[in-house]
Chains A and B, each alone.
Chain A
Amino acid sequence: DTAVSQTPKYLVTQMGNDKSIKCEQNLGHDTMYWYKQDSKKFLKIMFSYNNKELIINETVPNRFSPKSPDKAHLNLHINSLELGDSAVYFCASSQMVAGSNEQFFGPGTRLTVL
């Protein structure tokens, strides 16, 4: 029943490792997003895909690489993890319709880099 799901929910790893977070939505939306919420609770967009095409790419280190195999999935791969990557990563989705901007968020992935 979950509209936007993410796996894993928790991820603890060592510096320098490579890890992936997966996101899936069953709402039939055409746009998906990755957000990062840091320790100060500030939520900032990282990437957005519309129909598998990248449309928003904020200033994010190129160690972060999103991949959208289809409209319902948007994965995030992170290379060479650093301490500063520790945060909660939220996936979200929406339908790009004029006048409608509601985004539905997944439960978040809490990443801790040791």
Chain B
Amino acid sequence: RKEVEQDPGPFNVPEGATVAFNCTYSNSASQSFFWYRQDCRKEPKLLMSVYSSGNEDGRFTAQLNRASQYISLLIRDSKLSDSATYLCVVTTGFQKLVFGTGTRLLVSP
């Protein structure tokens, strides 16, 4: 079983739609949680950290459920520029990031 599992997609949505991605992780000792975004043929970039209390950054909302070892990302009012691969990431110490395989999002006009 992979340490971090995501549905690879692609998720095809029209502009303005709301889309949600989920991720599960296997290591209960995981300490920190993130969503990174990777555009085609580019490097990953931090989108947002994920906290148990949930956090929001504009159109993006992230949630963490430690009991279920589950992380989610909600994108409201999708834009064309949101098309990318969204990587669920957990750390287990020494700043070792463990990446999911990513969920591909395609937003169409």
List A residues at the B interface (Cβ < 8 Å).
31, 40-45, 48, 50, 55-56, 90, 94, 96, 99, 101-103, 105-108
Contacts and interface: CB of A to CB of B under 8 A. Distances in A.
A41 B102 contact: yes
Interface residues of B, number: 19
B59 interface: no
Interface of B: 32, 34, 42-46, 49, 85, 87, 91, 94-99, 101-102
Contacts of A50: 94
> Binding site of B, secondary structure by majority: helix, strand, loop or mixed?
strand
B95 A101 contact: yes
A43 B46 contact: no
A105 B43 contact: yes
Given A103-B46, A107-B42, A108-B43, A42 B101 contact: yes
Given A101-B34, A107-B42, A43 B94 contact: no
